[in-house]
C-alpha cells in the first residue's frame, strides 16, 4: 500500500484574522483595469453626457447598467451620487417646506435634501437616478424640474452636474410603472444590452475605458450650422413629426418627437459632428431621442444632404466620386438622370452615361439598371448612341432599349404636333 500523507493541522486563526484575509481576497477580486475598446453603447452614453442631456439606460436586471455608470464616473473623475427615486417622497425632489420666523411675510422656503446640497458644494458630479421605472407617478411628477431644469426646491444644480438614470422594463421591474410622457420626453433613451466579449474580458479583469469624446474646435461652427440645417430642413419637409405623442401607454414612456426632443436631437447632432462620431453612435442617440421611425427618417435625410450635386457630377464625369453605399449610389444616379430629364441636352445625356459606366467599374452593377433604362428613354432622334452604352451591355441590353425607346418616342412626338 502506498504511504499515507500525514494530515496537517492548520493553525487556528481568530475571526478578525480570517475576515482580514477575506477582505484581501475581495480586494483582489475588485482589482480591474480598463483598455481602449470600441463600444458603441458607451460612446453614445459619453457623448450624451458631454452634451449635458439627461440619459436613461433601459435594460433587463443584471445587465450592468449600474456598473457602467459607476465605471463612467470613475473614468471621468466625477463624484457619483446615487438616488433611488422609488424610496423617496415627492417632497425630496420638489423641496421640503421649512417654516421660518415670519412665514406670512417671508413665505415658506422649500429646502433641498442633503445629497443635493453635497452636489452643489462639489460643483461637479454625476447624479444617478436608479430604478426609475419603480417610481410612482407622484414621484415622477416631482422629478420633472430636477431632470429638465436641474432644480430641487429653491436650489439649482450647477452646470457641472450631469444626470443619468437607469430603468428596467415594466415587465421586469419590481412593482414597475410606465414612465409618464412628460418625464420620458426629457430623456435620451438608450437600450443597454450586454456584449459577450466585453463581459468575458471584463470578468477577466479588463473593461472598456469610458472617455469623453474629443471635440475639434475648428469644427464647432460648421457642426452647429450642419445640425440646424439638417433638422430644420427635415421638419420643413415632415411637419407632422414636429410633435407626435404615441397612442400606446408603453410607447409614451419611451422616445417620441416633440419640439423639446428635436432640440435635444439638434444638440446631439452638433456634438456628434464636432466629435466625428460614427453613424452607429449617432443612430443610437437620434433614435433614442425622437423614436425609431422619425430618427431613421432623419438619418436618411442626413445621408441625402451629403450626396454630391448632380450638376457637379455631370460637369466632370471622369473625376466623379460616387458614394460607396449601394442605396446612396442609387440615389445619386437617380438624381443625375432626373437632372438630365429636367434639362435634356446631348452633352449632359452622354455625360450621364459616363457616370453609369464609372458606377459599374467601381461598384455593384445592379444599381445602374433602373437609371440606365430611364436614361435610354430620354434619347432624342438626332442623338447617336454613345460608346459608353456598349460598355454596359453585360448589365442590360441598353443599345436595343435605346433604339426601341427612340422608335416609340417618334410617333408620340408626331402625334402631339
**pLDDT tens by residue, 207-261:** 888 888 899 999 999 999 999 999 999 999 899 999 999 987 778 999 999 999 9
Q: What is the pLDDT of residues 172-184, one digit of tens each?
A: 655 668 889 999 9
**What letter would DSSP give residue 218?**
G
Q: Which position has the higher pLDDT, 310 or 92?
A: 310
**Beta carbons of 223 and 271 less than 8 angstroms apart:** yes
Domains of the chain (ranges; CATH) run 37-208 (3.40.50.300), 217-305 (no CATH), 310-416 (no CATH)
CB atoms inside a 10 Å sphere around CB 153: 21
Assess contact for 314 and 355: CB atoms under 8 A.
Answer: yes
Q: pLDDT tier at 53 (50, 70, 90 boundaries)?
A: very high
**Contact of 192 with 41, CB cutoff 8 Å:** yes
Cell digits of residue 299: 438619418
* pTM tops 0.85, yes or no: no
Strand pairing partners for 155?
A: 152
CB half-sphere exposure, 356, CA atoms < 13 A: 33
Alpha-carbon torsion (182, 188, 191, 194), positive or negative: negative
Cell of 93: 425632489
Identify the band that residue 7 occupies on the pLDDT scale cut at 50, 70 and 90. very low
Q: Are 236 and 167 in contact (CB under 8 A)?
A: no
Range of lowest pLDDT (138-147, 187-196, 228-237, 299-308):
299-308
- Angle, to 10 degrees, between the axis of helix 369-377 and the axis of helix 326-342? 10
Amino acid at each position: 500500500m502506498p504511504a499515507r500523507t500525514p494530515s496537517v493541522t492548520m493553525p487556528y486563526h481568530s475571526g478578525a484574522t480570517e475576515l482580514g484575509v477575506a477582505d484581501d481576497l475581495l480586494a483582489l477580486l475588485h482589482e480591474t483595469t480598463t483598455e481602449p475598446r470600441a463600444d458603441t453603447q458607451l460612446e453614445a452614453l459619453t457623448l450624451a453626457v458631454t452634451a449635458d442631456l439627461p440619459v436613461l439606460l433601459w435594460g433587463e436586471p443584471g445587465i450592468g447598467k449600474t456598473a457602467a455608470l459607476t465605471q463612467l464616473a470613475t473614468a471621468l473623475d466625477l463624484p457619483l451620487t446615487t438616488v433611488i427615486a422609488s424610496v423617496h417622497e415627492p417632497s425630496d425632489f420638489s423641496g421640503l417646506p421649512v417654516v421660518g420666523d415670519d412665514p406670512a411675510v417671508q413665505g415658506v422656503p422649500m429646502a433641498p435634501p442633503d445629497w443635493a446640497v453635497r452636489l452643489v458644494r462639489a460643483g461637479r458630479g454625476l447624479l444617478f437616478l436608479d430604478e426609475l421605472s419603480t417610481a410612482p407617478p407622484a414621484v415622477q411628477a416631482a422629478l420633472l424640474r430636477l431632470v429638465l431644469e436641474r432644480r430641487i426646491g429653491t436650489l439649482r444644480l450647477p452646470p457641472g452636474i450631469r444626470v443619468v438614470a437607469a430603468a428596467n422594463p415594466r415587465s421586469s421591474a419590481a412593482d414597475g410603472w410606465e414612465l409618464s410622457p412628460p418625464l420620458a420626453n426629457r430623456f435620451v433613451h438608450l437600450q443597454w444590452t450586454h456584449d459577450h466579449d466585453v463581459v468575458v474580458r471584463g470578468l477577466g479583469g479588463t473593461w472598456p475605458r469610458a472617455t469623453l469624446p474629443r471635440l475639434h474646435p475648428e469644427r464647432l461652427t460648421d457642426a452647429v450650422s450642419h445640425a440646424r440645417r439638417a433638422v430644420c430642413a427635415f421638419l420643413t419637409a415632415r411637419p407632422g413629426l414636429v410633435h407626435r405623442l404615441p397612442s400606446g401607454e408603453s410607447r409614451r414612456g419611451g422616445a417620441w418627437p416633440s419640439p423639446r426632443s428635436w432640440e435635444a436631437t439638434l444638440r446631439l447632432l452638433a456634438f456628434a459632428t464636432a466629435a466625428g462620431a460614427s453613424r452607429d453612435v449617432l443612430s443610437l442617440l437620434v433614435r433614442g431621442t425622437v423614436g425609431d421611425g422619425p430618427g431613421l427618417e432623419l438619418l436618411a435625410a442626413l445621408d441625402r444632404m451629403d450626396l454630391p450635386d448632380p450638376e457637379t457630377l455631370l460637369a466632370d464625369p471622369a473625376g466623379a466620386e460616387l458614394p460607396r453605399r449601394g442605396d446612396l449610389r442609387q440615389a445619386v444616379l437617380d438624381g443625375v438622370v432626373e437632372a438630365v430629364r429636367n434639362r435634356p441636352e446631348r452633352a449632359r445625356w452622354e455625360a450621364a452615361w459616363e457616370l453609369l459606366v464609372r458606377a459599374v467599374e467601381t461598384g455593384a452593377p445592379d444599381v445602374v439598371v433602373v437609371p440606365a433604362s430611364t436614361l435610354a428613354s430620354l434619347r432624342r432622334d438626332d442623338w447617336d448612341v454613345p460608346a459608353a452604352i456598349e460598355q454596359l451591355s453585360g448589365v442590360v441590353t441598353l443599345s436595343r432599349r435605346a433604339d426601341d425607346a427612340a422608335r416609340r418616342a417618334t410617333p408620340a412626338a408626331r402625334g402631339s404636333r
